[in-house]
A and B are shown apart, each in its own frame.
Chain A
Amino acid sequence: MPGKLKVKIVAGRHLPVMDRASDLTDAFVEVKFGNTTFKTDVYLKSLNPQWNSEWFKFEVDDEDLQDEPLQITVLDHDTYSANDAIGKVYIDIDPLLYSEAATVISGWFPIYDTIHGIRGEINVVVKVDLFNDLNRFRQSSCGVKFFCTTSIPKCYRAVIIHGFVEELVVNEDPEYQWIDRIRTPRASNEARQRLISLMSGELQRKIGLKVLEMRGNAVVGYLQCFDLEGESGLVVRAIGTACTLDKLSSPAAFLPACNSPSKDMKESPLVHPPSHGCRSTHNSPIHTATGSRLTQNFSVSVPTLIYTGMGSGSAGKEGGPFKALLRQQTQSALEQREFPFFTLTAFPPGFLVHVGGVVSARSVKLLDRIHNPDEPETRDAWWAEIRQEIKSHAKALGCHAVVGYSESTSICEEVCILSASGTAAVLNPRFLQDGTVESCLEQRLEENLPAGCGFCHIPYDELNMPFPAHLTYCYNCRKQKVPDVLFTTIDLPIDATVIGKGCLIQARLCRLKKKAQAEANATAISNLLPFMEYEVHTQLMNKLKLKGMNALFGLRIQITVGENMLMGLASATGVYLAALPLPGGIQIAGKTPNDGSYEQHVSHMQKKINDTIAKNKELYEINPPEISEEIIGSPIPEPRQRSRLLRSQSESSDEVTELDLSHGKKDAFVLEIDDTDAMEDVHSLLTDVPPPSGFYSCNTEIMPGINNWTSEIQMFTSVRVIRLSSLNLTNQALNKNFNDLCENLLKSLYFKLRSMIPCCLCHVNFTVSLPEDELIQVTVTAVAITFDKNQALQTTKTQVEKSLQRASTDNEELLQFPLELCSDSLPSHPFPPAKATSVDYSSFADRCSSWIELIKLKAQTIRRGSIKTTVTVEKASPMNEGNFRNRSAPPCANSTVGVVKMTPLSFIPGAKITKYLGIINMFFIRETTSLREEGGVSGFLHAFVAEVFAMVRAHVAALGGNAVVSYIMKQCVFMENPNKNQAQCLINVSGDAVVFVHESELEVVSSQPPTANCQSSCPGGDVTT
C-alpha cells in the first residue's frame, strides 16, 4: 500500500437551483476512489455551499493511483425521493505521482453533467502522500513522465532517445451493452466516461512499464487515441517515444554533462533487451478465434506510397562510403528494435542525419466483436502488420528509422481503415545508444554534413537506387546529391536554410463508392485507396509547384471512410529549401492541338498558371540566389517527377509489386486537359485563394521565414458540417463541395482573426469525418500568433547569410550553448510594462474579487469628471470607445493572472516554460434531448466546445499551471437526430500542463547570440552538424 490519497472538499458556487419551491439547493458531495466512497455533510439551502470538509483519506496501491480517476459527485439531498445528481468532476491524479510535477491539485473545477453541461463549480484540494519506497516506485510505473509534445520538452535534455513504445487496451463499449436499453442516457454516458478514463490510466501505466523496462524515464510525443468501434468494442491505443530525460535545473549542473556526454550516458546504462526492446506485450502471431466468423481475419492491404522527389540522375562519388559506414552504425543501433520509430517531429541538433521521404501504409479491416478484452491480439496484430510494412518501406529508402511517426484509424460501421505514416530517416546513432561509436568517424561525418542541407541529402545509394530518381548536387554544399522535391511528416529542422516564407498546402479529394456490406465493402474501399493516394499525391505536387516551392513538411494525409464515399485530405507546409533545386513550372497540353480556339484556351490557362507561380513567388518572398550554371549544369532542371508506388499485400508483405506513380511515360507536370476531369483539376489548382495580406498559415509548429513572434496568441477550434444535396452526386460535385467547404472555412478564420494582423495561423490541423450519408464534418484547431511586422521584413538575403553564418560559428557557440538552454527560440520582445506580480492559483476567489475591483476602478476612471449625462442617442452609450480602450490597456496586461493559455504548439511565444506539470488527457460526452432549445446543433456544439476548454483550463489552473502546450483535440464525434430533438457529442483532448514566465519578467542574460536560442533548446548537447 504505497500511497495515501487525501481529498478535501472546500466549497461550491453557482450551483443550479434544484428545489423549485425554495429556489435553492441542499447540496452534498460524494468522493469516490476505487471502491471507497466518502460523503460530506449536506449544506442546506444554498447555491454557494461551504462544506469545508475534513481530509478524506484513501489508502491505495500505486497501480490504482495510476489507473483510477478521482470521482467527485455533487448531489442534491432529497428527504423523500432519491438524491438528484447535479454533476461530476473527474480528476486525473497522475500529475501528483511524479516528483517534479505538481505537488497539490487545488482549485475550482466546473461541475459537469453529460446532459446539462457545466452546472456550477466546486473547490477541491487533492494531495498524494507516496511512501518513500523507491523500489516499489520502480515496479509500478509511477514516476515516468509523459509529454504530448513531439520534441524534447523545454527545460529537459535528452540523454538517450530509446525509441518506440506502444500499447493498446480493449473493452466493450458501455453504450452497446444490453444494459444500455434500460438505463438513462446519463448513466450510460457516465459509464463510458469512467471506463475511458480507467482505460487511459491503465494504458499509460502499461506504457510506463515498458519505458522502465527500456531504462527510460519519460515518454515524449505521447499520442493516445480512441477507436469507437461500435458493437465490436472500444479500443484505446497509444504510441510514444521512450526517452531518458535530464532536467536542466541549472546551467552548472548541465555543463559537465555537456562536455562529457559519454560519461553521462554511462551513468544511466542503457540496455536494449535484444529481442523485446519495445515490443507489445501481446505480440503473439495472428490469432484466429475459434468459432469466429469467416470475416474475422478478413483484411485487405492497400498499396502504399513512398513519397520522394525523384527523377533520373547521375551517381555521386563522395557520399557513398560515408553512407555505408553510417548505415552500418545505425543499423546496429536500430536493428535490435522491432520498430525503429520515433513519434517526435523536432529533434535535438544533429539527431537527424538524412531524410528519405514519407512512408505510409494503410490497411482495410473488418471489425468483429472483441471476444476477450484481456487478449487484444487481433488489434495488436493489425498494427504490427502495418508497422512492419512501414519499416520495410523505410528500408527500401535506405533508412533505418522512421521519424514523425503517427497512426490513425477511420471507422464506418464495420469497416476500419488503419493508417500509419512517418518519414524515413537516417539518425545519428549517438542518441540511441551509449558511446560505442567511433568518434573519428563522427568527426568526418560531421565535417561533411554542412548545416542547413545535410538532412536533404539522399540516404539511399545512388548506384543502387530503389527507384528512378532525379538527383542533383545539393545547391547549398554542392557535394552531395539531393532529390528535386522532398516530402516529410516532421517539422522543419531548425538549421534548415529556407528561402522566403512557407505556406499551408492542402490536397482535397472525394470519391463516391457504392454502399456495400462487409467484404464487398472492404474490397471496394481498398480498390479505391490507391487511386486516392495517387491523386492526393499529384495534387500536392501540383500545388507545391504552383507555389514555387520544393519541399513539404508536416505532411498529414487523412483518408476518411463513409457509407457512400471516401474523403482524402492532405495538409502540409510548403517551403523553398535552399538546398534543393528550383522547382519547374507546370505545363499544360491539349490533346487536340489542331483546334485553334482550343489551343488558345490552353495557352490562356498556361498563362494563368505561370502568372500564379510568379505571383506566389513574390508573395512568399522566394528569390533564390542566382546560381552559376557550371556547377549545376542547367539552372532549371527539367521538370520531371517519377514516383513509384510500392504495393504490398499484408498476407505476403515481402512480395513487393511496383506501381508507377507518374502519368504513364509522360512528364508528370504536363497536365493534359483532354477531358473534363483534367479541366477540373486545373481549375481547382487555381481556385485556392492565398490568405489575405498580413496572414500566413502553416501546419507546422512555426512558420519558416517568420521569427519575431509577439506574445499574443489565440487558439481556436472551428467545426463545420455541410449537408450535400443527395441528388446527382458526382465525384466532381463532391470535390467542389469539399473544396469549397475547406476554403470557406479558412476564409472565415482569416476574417474572424483579422484584428490580429499581422499574424500567422500555426499548426493548422484539419480533421474530416463523415458522420452520416450526406454530411461532411470538418474540424479545425489552430493557433493564431501575432508577429512584429517591421522585424519581419528581413530580406531573404540576410536570412541566408545568417544561416550560413550560423553554420560556420556553430562550433564556437556550442560552448556557450548550455547557458542558454532553457530559453526559447524567440527573441524577447518589448512587453506591456505591467506585470503579473504574484500568481496564486489556489485562491481563485481572491483573483476574481480583484477583477471586480479592477473593473470598477477602470470604469470609474473612464467616467470620472464627466458629470453631464449625454444627450444624444449615440452618446447615451456609456463609454467613449477610444478612451475606454486606451485606459484599459494597462490593467488588461495586468490581469494575465488567472488566464490559462492554450496552444497546439510546444512553446509559448515571448515566454519561457519553467515547469511541466503533467499530461492533460480528458474525454467528455455531452448529450441533449432538447436540441432546439439549446440553439440547434450549432448552439449545442458551441457551448460544449467552450465547456471543454473551460474544464481543461480549470484543471491546469488547479495544478498550478498557466498554460497548456501541445494541445490537440483528438476526437470530436458529433451525432444528431433532429427529428427526436437529440444530439450527442464526444470530445477527446490532450496536452501538457505547464508553468510559463514571460521573458520580459526574466532577467535573461541576453549576451548570447540569438542563434543559440534554438527552438528545441534541450539538445543532446554535444553534437555539431
Chain B
Amino acid sequence: MTNELDIFVGNTTLIDEDVYRLWLDGYSVNDAVALRVRSGILEQTGATAAVLQSDTMDHYRTFHMLERLLHAPPKLLHQLIFQIPPSRQALLIERYYAFDEAFVREVLGKKLSKGTKKDLDDISTKTGITLKSCRRQFDNFKRVFKVVEEMRGSLVDNIQQHFLLSDRLARDYAAIVFFANNRFETGKKKLQYLSFGDFAFCAELMIQNWTLGAVDSQVDDMDVDLDKEFLQDLKELKVLVADKDLLDLHKSLVCTALRGKLGVFSEMEANFKNLSRGLVNVAAKLTHNKDVRDLFVDLVEKFVEPCRSDHWPLNDVRLFLNQYSASVHSLDGFRHQALWDRYMGTLRGCLLRLYHD
C-alpha cells in the first residue's frame, strides 16, 4: 500500500516555521524528516514517521508553490491563491530573504554573475551550507540587485518597497548591492577577521556620504554608484602629505592636543607621518576603479594593522582620529575643508568599526 497522492489544503495556508526553516536550509524531504524525528517531535505528539513524512512533503509542496511569489513579495500580498495572515506573510518573506553570515562573507563584493554562481559548489563545501540554500541566497542577492540597481531614490527604501523587507534586512541588502556594484574586495586573508556587519556599517556610511545621492537625491543609481566627481577631487587632499610644512604643522597640532591624553602617545608621534600618508594616499588613489575595490585592504594595511601592532586601545584610536580630522581645520594653507570632512567623516566611522581583533 503506497500513497499515490496525499495532500492537505487549508483555507488558511498552514505554515510550519520549523519545516520552513528546514526547507530554506535546503534539506531534502528525507533529511528534513530525519531532523524532525531527532527533534523529538514524534514523542511530543505521538505521531508516526509516516505522518511526519506526509506532513513534511505537504509543507515542502506549499513552500515550493509559494517560492514563485516570494521572488516578488508584493505578489504574495496581492495573490488570491493562498490565504495567509499578514504576520505570516511577513515571516515568510523575511525568512526567505534572510541569509547566512558565512555565505554572505563569501560573495560580498563579488560580481553577482554566472561565474560566481558556479563557485557556489565550493562555497557550499567550505561553509557547510547546502548548495540549495546557497543558490537561494545567491539568487536573492542577484534578484534584489537587478531590481534596484538602476532605480532612483533611496536604496534602502527601494529595497523595502519592492521586497517588503524589514528595515534591518533592507539595510543589509543595501550593503550587499552597494558592495556588489562597487566590487569591493572583502575576501583577502587579512580581511577575514571582519564580519558582514562591519562591512554593512561601512557601506551605510559610504552610501550616506560618498554616493551621488549624498548631494543630489534625484539622480539614477544615486545610492549605488560612488560620486565620481568627489573621488576625482580627493586628489587635492594629497597636499596634506606632499607639502612638508603642512604635514609637520598637522602633526604638531595633533600632538599638542593629544599629549597626556593618549596611552600610546609616543607610538602615535612616531607613526604620525606614516599613518597620515596612508590615509591621504588611500583617498588620492580612489580615482582608479582598481584602487576603489581595494579600499578595505588598503585601510587595514595602512591604518588598522600598524595601530594594532602597537596595541592601540580603541579609545586612543578614536581620540586620534577625531583630533586628526579636526586639526585640519586649523591648517590655514589648506583650502579643501569640506572635501576633507566628507572624506574623513566617513572614513573615521569606518576605521573605528574596522578596528578590532
Taking the closest CB of chain B, its distance from the CB of A451, in whole angstroms, is: 36
Secondary structure type dominating chain A contacts: helix
Q: Is the CB of A878 within 8 A of B78?
A: no
Taking the closest CB of chain A, its distance from the CB of B102, in whole angstroms, is: 6
Minimum CB distance partner of A110 in chain B: B80
* A878→B197 CA distance, assembly (Å): 13
Residue from B78, B83, B166 within 8 A of A848 (CB atoms)? B78
**Is A752 engaged at the interface, CB distance under 8 Å to the other chain?**
yes
Residue from B48, B55, B65, B95 within 8 A of A946 (CB atoms)? B65
Residue from B6, B10, B50, B169 within 8 A of A938 (CB atoms)? B6
Binds B, one of A26-34, A602-610, A710-718: A710-718
Q: Is the CB of B9 within 8 A of A942?
A: yes
* A715→B94 CA distance, assembly (Å): 27
**In the assembled complex, which residues on chain A have CB atoms less than 8 Å from the CB atom of B75?**
14
Taking the closest CB of chain A, its distance from the CB of B18, in whole angstroms, is: 10
Binds B, one of A197-205, A288-296, A426-434, A857-865: A857-865
**Is A269 engaged at the interface, CB distance under 8 Å to the other chain?**
no
Q: Is the CB of B83 within 8 A of A718?
A: no
**In the assembled complex, which residues on chain A have CB atoms less than 8 Å from the CB atom of B47?**
747, 750-751
**In the assembled complex, which residues on chain B have CB atoms less than 8 Å from the CB atom of A868?**
197
Q: A863-B169, A869-B197, A935-B61 known; A895 and B85 CB under 8 Å?
A: yes
Binds B, one of A94-102, A246-254, A439-447, A719-727: A719-727
Could you mark each residue 916-960 of chain A with 1 if its beta carbon is under 8 Å from any beta carbon of chain B, else 0? 000000000000000000010111011101110110011000000
* A13→B13 CA distance, assembly (Å): 22
Residue from B6, B166, B169, B172 within 8 A of A720 (CB atoms)? B6
**In the assembled complex, which residues on chain B have CB atoms less than 8 Å from the CB atom of A860?**
166-167
Minimum CB distance partner of B4 in chain A: A721
Q: Is the CB of B61 within 8 A of A937?
A: no
**Is A854 engaged at the interface, CB distance under 8 Å to the other chain?**
yes
**In the assembled complex, which residues on chain A have CB atoms less than 8 Å from the CB atom of B115?**
none
Q: A888-B90, A938-B5, A950-B81 known; A873 and B11 CB under 8 Å?
A: no
**Is B192 engaged at the interface, CB distance under 8 Å to the other chain?**
no
Q: Is the CB of B167 within 8 A of A752?
A: no
Q: Is the CB of B80 within 8 A of A722?
A: no
Residue from A751, A852, A873, A942 within 8 A of B102 (CB atoms)? A873
Binds B, one of A2-10, A417-425, A513-521, A899-907: A899-907
**In the assembled complex, which residues on chain A have CB atoms less than 8 Å from the CB atom of B100?**
873, 876
**Is B86 engaged at the interface, CB distance under 8 Å to the other chain?**
yes
Q: Is the CB of B94 within 8 A of A895?
A: no
Could you mark each residue 863-889 of chain A with 1 if its beta carbon is under 8 Å from any beta carbon of chain B, else 0? 110111111110011110100110011
Q: Is the CB of B87 within 8 A of A856?
A: no
Q: Is the CB of B1 within 8 A of A692?
A: no
Q: Is the CB of A744 within 8 A of B7?
A: no
**Is B125 engaged at the interface, CB distance under 8 Å to the other chain?**
no
Q: Is the CB of A891 within 8 A of B200?
A: no
Taking the closest CB of chain B, its distance from the CB of A947, in whole angstroms, is: 6
Q: Is the CB of B86 within 8 A of A859?
A: no
In the complex, which of the residues A118, A855, A945 has the most CB atoms of chain B within 10 Å of its own CB atom? Answer: A855
**Is B196 engaged at the interface, CB distance under 8 Å to the other chain?**
yes
Q: Is the CB of A851 within 8 A of B86?
A: yes
**Is B2 engaged at the interface, CB distance under 8 Å to the other chain?**
yes
Q: Is the CB of A859 within 8 A of B90?
A: yes
* A900→B80 CA distance, assembly (Å): 11
* A846→B79 CA distance, assembly (Å): 14
Q: Is the CB of A871 within 8 A of B197?
A: yes
Q: A748-B54, A938-B61, A954-B80 known; A878 and B164 CB under 8 Å?
A: no
Taking the closest CB of chain A, its distance from the CB of B91, in whole angstroms, is: 7
Q: Is the CB of B48 within 8 A of A747?
A: yes
Secondary structure type dominating chain B contacts: helix
Taking the closest CB of chain A, its distance from the CB of B15, in whole angstroms, is: 10
**In the assembled complex, which residues on chain A have CB atoms less than 8 Å from the CB atom of B50?**
744
**Is A685 engaged at the interface, CB distance under 8 Å to the other chain?**
no
Q: Is the CB of B5 within 8 A of A937?
A: yes
**In the assembled complex, which residues on chain B have CB atoms less than 8 Å from the CB atom of A870?**
101, 197
Taking the closest CB of chain A, its distance from the CB of B305, in whole angstroms, is: 22
**Is A121 engaged at the interface, CB distance under 8 Å to the other chain?**
yes
Residue from B14, B101, B167 within 8 A of A876 (CB atoms)? B101
**In the assembled complex, which residues on chain B have CB atoms less than 8 Å from the CB atom of A891?**
86-87
Minimum CB distance partner of A783 in chain B: B11
Q: Is the CB of A716 within 8 A of B9?
A: yes
Residue from B2, B14, B95, B196 within 8 A of A723 (CB atoms)? B2
**Is A108 engaged at the interface, CB distance under 8 Å to the other chain?**
yes
* A899→B54 CA distance, assembly (Å): 28
* A845→B61 CA distance, assembly (Å): 28
**In the assembled complex, which residues on chain B have CB atoms less than 8 Å from the CB atom of A901?**
11
**In the assembled complex, which residues on chain B have CB atoms less than 8 Å from the CB atom of A717?**
8-9
**Is A528 engaged at the interface, CB distance under 8 Å to the other chain?**
no
**In the assembled complex, which residues on chain A have CB atoms less than 8 Å from the CB atom of B3?**
720-722
**Is A892 engaged at the interface, CB distance under 8 Å to the other chain?**
yes
Q: Is the CB of A856 within 8 A of B61?
A: no
In the complex, which of the residues A724, A879, A895 has the most CB atoms of chain B within 10 Å of its own CB atom? Answer: A879
In the complex, which of the residues A721, A722, A844, A942 has the most CB atoms of chain B within 10 Å of its own CB atom? Answer: A942
**Is B46 engaged at the interface, CB distance under 8 Å to the other chain?**
yes
**Is A754 engaged at the interface, CB distance under 8 Å to the other chain?**
yes
Q: Is the CB of A854 within 8 A of B10?
A: no
Residue from A692, A719, A740, A851 within 8 A of B5 (CB atoms)? A719
Q: Is the CB of A878 within 8 A of B80?
A: no
**Is B168 engaged at the interface, CB distance under 8 Å to the other chain?**
yes
CB within 8 Å of A: which B48-104 residues: 48, 50-52, 54-55, 57-58, 61-62, 64-65, 74-75, 77-83, 85-87, 89-91, 93-95, 97-102, 104
**In the assembled complex, which residues on chain A have CB atoms less than 8 Å from the CB atom of B81?**
110, 118, 946-947, 949-950
**Is B327 engaged at the interface, CB distance under 8 Å to the other chain?**
no
**Is B247 engaged at the interface, CB distance under 8 Å to the other chain?**
no
**In the assembled complex, which residues on chain B have CB atoms less than 8 Å from the CB atom of A889?**
87
* A1002→B87 CA distance, assembly (Å): 26
* A942→B8 CA distance, assembly (Å): 7
Minimum CB distance partner of A712 in chain B: B12
Residue from B14, B17, B45, B58 within 8 A of A692 (CB atoms)? B45
Taking the closest CB of chain B, its distance from the CB of A967, in whole angstroms, is: 9
Q: Is the CB of A13 within 8 A of B78?
A: yes
**In the assembled complex, which residues on chain A have CB atoms less than 8 Å from the CB atom of B30?**
none
**Is B160 engaged at the interface, CB distance under 8 Å to the other chain?**
yes
Taking the closest CB of chain B, its distance from the CB of A776, in whole angstroms, is: 9
Taking the closest CB of chain B, its distance from the CB of A886, in whole angstroms, is: 10
**Is B165 engaged at the interface, CB distance under 8 Å to the other chain?**
yes
* A718→B3 CA distance, assembly (Å): 13
**Is A775 engaged at the interface, CB distance under 8 Å to the other chain?**
yes
Taking the closest CB of chain B, its distance from the CB of A626, in whole angstroms, is: 35
**Is A684 engaged at the interface, CB distance under 8 Å to the other chain?**
no
In the complex, which of the residues B6, B46, B167, B197 has the most CB atoms of chain A within 10 Å of its own CB atom? Answer: B6
Q: Is the CB of B160 within 8 A of A902?
A: no
Taking the closest CB of chain B, its distance from the CB of A946, in whole angstroms, is: 5
Taking the closest CB of chain B, its distance from the CB of A906, in whole angstroms, is: 16
**Is A50 engaged at the interface, CB distance under 8 Å to the other chain?**
no
* A891→B91 CA distance, assembly (Å): 13
Q: Is the CB of A879 within 8 A of B1?
A: no
**In the assembled complex, which residues on chain B have CB atoms less than 8 Å from the CB atom of A881?**
17
Minimum CB distance partner of B170 in chain A: A859
**Is B195 engaged at the interface, CB distance under 8 Å to the other chain?**
yes
Taking the closest CB of chain B, its distance from the CB of A862, in whole angstroms, is: 6
**Is A737 engaged at the interface, CB distance under 8 Å to the other chain?**
yes
Minimum CB distance partner of A845 in chain B: B78
Taking the closest CB of chain B, its distance from the CB of A766, in whole angstroms, is: 14
**Is A974 engaged at the interface, CB distance under 8 Å to the other chain?**
yes
Q: Is the CB of A751 within 8 A of B55?
A: yes
* A300→B1 CA distance, assembly (Å): 34
A–B pairs, 19, beta carbons within 8 Å: A718-B9, A723-B4, A725-B1, A751-B52, A752-B14, A848-B78, A851-B86, A855-B90, A859-B166, A860-B166, A870-B101, A873-B100, A879-B98, A895-B85, A895-B87, A937-B5, A949-B83, A953-B80, A974-B5
Which 8 pairs across A and B sit closest by C-beta, in order of nearness? A869-B197, A859-B166, A888-B87, A863-B168, A721-B5, A721-B4, A716-B10, A892-B87
